[in-house]
Amino acid sequence: MLRVANLVKQYINEAGERKGGVSGVSFDVKEGELFTLLGPSGCGKTTTLRSIAGLEHPDSGLIQLAGRDLFDSRADVQLPMYERDIGMVFQSYAIWPHMSVFENAAYPLRTRRNGHLSREEIESRVMRSLEMVGLSEYRNRSATKLSGGQQQRLALARALVREPKLLLLDEPLSNLDALLREQMRSEIKRLQSEWGVTTIYVTHDQSEAMALSDRVAVLNNGVIAQMGTPIDIYDRPRCEFVANFIGRTNLLRGKLASQVRAGDIAAVHTSIGTIRCMFSSSMTAGHQISFVIRPENIELQPLNGILSDAAPNSVNGHIQGKVFLGEVAEYTIGVDGDQNLIARTHPSIGLNRGDRVRASFPEHKVIAICD
């Protein structure tokens, strides 16, 4: 449905150097998919989105929507924004304060350039989109008398009323408080799948990306570091940046004991002992590698009295810190060998600061970073 290939857009800084933006971003979005661009501030998410919308003139690359060129640097094509068939919702909802809810939602239909719509057609399309977002009973209310969440819904209704081929959402929830953000997150997911509109969602919030997306592209410094389903990216990060950016993690390093092939489980020598990891590609013995253990994949057992022999993929240590997070508690474990591990487990386990523990992690949950 949407194809972005080798997109480059760089900005010239005060010293005349080409900096920032994006430098060679490529991805395809399927029809009806919710695709998220995720990354820290300044990684190039908004530049990508604005290039797709036609608000930015890229330096080079190709952008196609439903087989039509929106931008092609080789053929010198740059379609104006209004010809792109795209709806957009910004962080600031950009609601017109002097208009009613109905008029705000009707605005894109009244100002569209491709064909006049009858009054009845406008009425029915606007009411359909207001009903979808639960605002039909507020149709005559002034837009300024809506709550933050309602304004956000109105912005969505206004973006959808033209029935665009593509919906672009740029950090649409960042102005809402935490509870409302979670509610609106489910609302966007519901709307997007009911409406079936292909959507690109931009956020720096990894939990939002995980909860909403069919697929995610993680951006860093203007390039895509990894692309895949939320589970893929969480369970199999391909580089340290992605491992650290997506959720809490333990990142350890060591030396590979033997040659491995994709799918093997093999031993890695580390400062806290030999740990067996899953490998997703082949590597030669002696390679320095990093690997990831997610905090929820560490099991903690109290070590009382006499120490039994350490089991495979387990280390002994003591609790250095405990933070209660509601459903889980997060423990910091100081491991013999000068390494800290973070573990998350049910608070009822009853471990406290200073307790000796054994931390174990199944080998198929220890993931080698193979890039």
Contact footprint for ligand ATP (CB under 6 A): 11, 20-21, 39, 41-47, 204
Considering the complex, what minimum distance in angstroms separates the CB of residue 210 from ligand ATP?
17
Considering the complex, what minimum distance in angstroms separates the CB of residue 171 from ligand ATP?
7
Amino acid type, 232: D
Handedness of CA 2, 30, 207, 293 (dihedral sign): negative
Residue with tokens 């290939």: 5
Q: Which is nearer to ligand ATP, 146 or 173 (CB)?
A: 173
Residue closest to ligand ATP (Cβ): 20
Q: Which is nearer to ligand ATP, 17 or 163 (CB)?
A: 17
Considering the complex, what minimum distance in angstroms separates the CB of residue 221 from ligand ATP?
9
Helix axes 119-132, 101-110, angle to 10 degrees: 130
Q: Which is nearer to ligand ATP, 204 or 294 (CB)?
A: 204
Considering the complex, what minimum distance in angstroms separates the CB of residue 312 from ligand ATP?
42
Q: How far is CA 178 from CA 201, 265, 324, in A?
A: 18, 41, 19
Q: Which is nearer to ligand ATP, 19 or 353 (CB)?
A: 19
Q: Quote the DSSP letter at residue 158.
A: H
Considering the complex, what minimum distance in angstroms separates the CB of residue 284 from ligand ATP?
37
Considering the complex, what minimum distance in angstroms separates the CB of residue 20 from ligand ATP?
3
Amino acid type, 183: Q
Structure tokens at 224: 């895509």
Is 364 strand, coil or helix? helix
Q: Which is nearer to ligand ATP, 41 or 348 (CB)?
A: 41
Considering the complex, what minimum distance in angstroms separates the CB of residue 244 from ligand ATP?
17
Q: Which is nearer to ligand ATP, 42 or 347 (CB)?
A: 42
Q: Which is nearer to ligand ATP, 44 or 164 (CB)?
A: 44
Q: H/E element holding 13?
A: none
Half-sphere exposure of 191 (CA within 13 A, CB side): 26
Q: Quote the DSSP letter at residue 308.
A: P
Q: Cα separation of 125 and 150, whole Å? A: 19
For 62, left (φ over 0), alpha (ψ -120 to 50), or beta?
A: beta
Q: Which is nearer to ligand ATP, 6 or 301 (CB)?
A: 6
**Radius of gyration over every alpha carbon of the chain, rounded to an integer in angstroms:** 25
Considering the complex, what minimum distance in angstroms separates the CB of residue 152 from ligand ATP?
18
Q: Cα separation of 301 and 351, whole Å? A: 9
Beta bridge partners of 78: 71
